[in-house]
Structure 1
Amino acid sequence: MGNTDSALAAATIQIEAARAEKAKRPTIAGFFDEATFTISYVVHDPATNEAAIIDSVLDYESASGRTSHGSADRIVEYVTLNNLKVTWLIETHAHADHISAAPYLQEKLGGKLAIGKEIIRVQDVFGKLFNAGTDFERDGSQFDHLFADGETFKVGTLDGIALHVPGHTPADMAFIIGDAAFVGDTIFMPDFGTARADFPGGDARQLFQSIRRLLSLPEATRLFLCHDYKAPGRDDYAWETTVGQQRRENVHVKDGVTEDEFVKMRTTRDATLAMPNLIMPSVQVNIRGGRLPDPEDNGVSYIKIPVNAV
């Protein structure tokens, strides 16, 4: 990519401008959901109070199949108390470990629901796995906007840019707002390493290239992570780091680790990992933009569990 990566160059210019001028930096609040180890974010422009919500969580009890809104209501309360106007509801990818609360938040707060345009590839793969039938559109139409690599957007007066960072899934995106990058499941805290790459459509080599793309941003760039699992020896959850810290310290992908070394490590490690507890309900709902499957003739929605298929 290097000098030919115009999207990365534009992101670098944006980050450096935001670091030079405080008014171009967002205010960020993180909301940690310990049940799924997920961090959701409310990112807003202090000048206009316009806001984006990134990677929200719908509470789901797998034993009973019941949903609830405690995690999402914390976000509603924060937005309301701070008089924010939500213009974007952003998903970094179709999560396999939690269900999105974006439709609930959209009903309460407004905003456009957005994800990367490669969601159509994920919909195609998982639509077949769940035998979703012809009624399930595989064109991203469940979302209000599909971001392309390098596409720019606004949160109030703040500049934003979307970067395609596949590898964990084909659709993963990082969203840079001001001087802050929201990197989804590409990378974790330096002592924990990187995301897995063994889901359908995942690719360890592609993940390495995506991470190195992100780590080509200015070293002071703030990185906000979608998950933290508290590495052994660390007592507290954490979800903010920097490009420089990752380049120096990440146990899987710091400077000096080659692509082949990473691929070998990631492939070996992924082979030992169990599937996430909520992968079946999460992916099934999230490829629909966080909406449950259509109710059947008795008025009830059902989550399918394919047997011996993955």
Structure 2
Amino acid sequence: MASKPLVAAFFDERTYSLQYVVSDPATKRCAIIDPVLDFDEKSGATATHNADRLLSYIAEEKLELEWILDTHPHADHFSAAAYLKRRTGVQMAIGARIVEVQKLWRDIYNWPALPVDGSQWDRLFADGDRFKIGEIEASALHSPGHTLASITYVVGDAAFVHDTLFMPDGGTARADFPGGSASQLWRSIQALLALPDDTRLFTGHDYLPGGREVRWQSSVAAQKRENIHLTRYRSEAEFVAMREARDKTLPMPKLILHALQVNINGARLPEPEANGKRYLKFPLDALNGAAW
């Protein structure tokens, strides 16, 4: 039990995203993983319903928050990490290769003033870095492919695998964003499958294939046995060919250009302008070849 954290999942229906509170039952200390800041692209409205739900759970369970963790700079929702830090004072962290994503997207956004040293976060985790949640050992496993900066958090017997593996009936994540790579994704998945078979795997999204109810937990053994992509495309070459062909048919996430300018800046919304309003800026025709 010393290496078995408690995991509470919170599903955001607007973005099909999973957010987690992972806690050490012995010390009652916890971390938040991949929190969502609510955003309605039709009205431009922002809200903190999802993040406040996480804080309410932590208060109800009498937990002590130690970490606010993002697995990668998300392309389909705003991160609520900065909001949660303002509310709690707790340190926020992401993978160290965020600096490469910052440099890439700084050019896409023509944003020369953006700091590209990762200084927006309190901690940047390199591959293999270790830390604790309460007394439970945790580590960062570099898992690129979906993005350059993607990492998996391994916390005791649980691994938070973000956008690499979905539930077995959902297959695997896309790898066609700027800086993405289907080959890297394959190698990252192989590293995850090298974890012990009984490792619990928690996904970053669930798209409810076939209209079923939301699911978020599988295992290494279940993924090896049942994943619809990994059981059909068993070599790297087969997997890459499938992934690249499939990705060419997928339209970009509707919030990618909205979300990346927030998420590469430590989940900070743009500063208010002279009239007190905040404005998002995104380029036209920047993602050439994207499916409509």
The residue matched to 2:78 in structure 1 has which SS?
Answer: coil
* Partner in structure 1 of residue 277 of structure 2: 300
Contact 2:38/2:49, CA 8 A, preserved across alignment: yes
**How much has 1:133 moved relative to structure 2?**
1.9
Q: How does 1:49-68 map to 2 (within 5 A)?
A: 49-68=28-47
Unmatched segments (≥5 aa) in structure 1: 1-21
The residue matched to 2:2 in structure 1 has which SS?
Answer: helix
In the alignment, the residues of structure 2 paired with residue 46 and residue 230 of structure 1 have an alpha-carbon distance, to the nearest angstrom, of: 30
In the alignment, the residues of structure 2 paired with residue 255 and residue 25 of structure 1 have an alpha-carbon distance, to the nearest angstrom, of: 32
Matched, 1:32 2:16: no
Q: How does 1:1-310 map to 2 (within 5 A)?
A: 22-134=1-113, 136-232=114-210, 235-254=212-231, 257-310=234-287
In the alignment, the residues of structure 2 paired with residue 124 and residue 253 of structure 1 have an alpha-carbon distance, to the nearest angstrom, of: 33
- For residues 13-42 of structure 1, what are the alpha-carbon distances to aligned partners after superposition, in whole Å with 9 as ceiling and x for unaligned? xxxxxxxxx122111100000100001000
**How much has 1:285 moved relative to structure 2?**
0.3
RMSD value over aligned CA atoms? 1.1
* Higher deviation after alignment, 247-256 or 271-280: 247-256
In the alignment, the residues of structure 1 paired with residue 269 and residue 231 of structure 2 have an alpha-carbon distance, to the nearest angstrom, of: 40
**How much has 1:296 moved relative to structure 2?**
2.5
* Partner in structure 1 of residue 290 of structure 2: none
Question: Aligned letter for 1:60?
Answer: F
In the alignment, the residues of structure 1 paired with residue 281 and residue 104 of structure 2 have an alpha-carbon distance, to the nearest angstrom, of: 15
- For residues 94-129 of structure 1, what are the alpha-carbon distances to aligned partners after superposition, in whole Å with 9 as ceiling and x for unaligned? 000010111111122332100000000100111111
**TM-score between both structures, scaled by the size of structure 2:** 0.96
In the alignment, the residues of structure 2 paired with residue 225 and residue 238 of structure 1 have an alpha-carbon distance, to the nearest angstrom, of: 9
**TM-score between both structures, scaled by the size of structure 1:** 0.90
* Partner in structure 2 of residue 15 of structure 1: none
In the alignment, the residues of structure 2 paired with residue 173 and residue 26 of structure 1 have an alpha-carbon distance, to the nearest angstrom, of: 19
**How much has 1:85 moved relative to structure 2?**
1.1
- The count of corresponding residues between Structure 1 and Structure 2 is 287
**How much has 1:276 moved relative to structure 2?**
0.4
- For residues 163-222 of structure 1, what are the alpha-carbon distances to aligned partners after superposition, in whole Å with 9 as ceiling and x for unaligned? 000000000000011100001111101111101000000000010000011001111100
Contact 2:92/2:123, CA 8 A, preserved across alignment: yes
The residue matched to 2:244 in structure 1 has which SS?
Answer: helix
In the alignment, the residues of structure 2 paired with residue 227 and residue 76 of structure 1 have an alpha-carbon distance, to the nearest angstrom, of: 21
Percentage of matched positions with identical amino acids:
51
- For residues 31-87 of structure 1, what are the alpha-carbon distances to aligned partners after superposition, in whole Å with 9 as ceiling and x for unaligned? 000100001000111111111000000100111211001111111100111111111
* Higher deviation after alignment, 83-92 or 248-257: 248-257
In the alignment, the residues of structure 1 paired with residue 231 and residue 60 of structure 2 have an alpha-carbon distance, to the nearest angstrom, of: 40
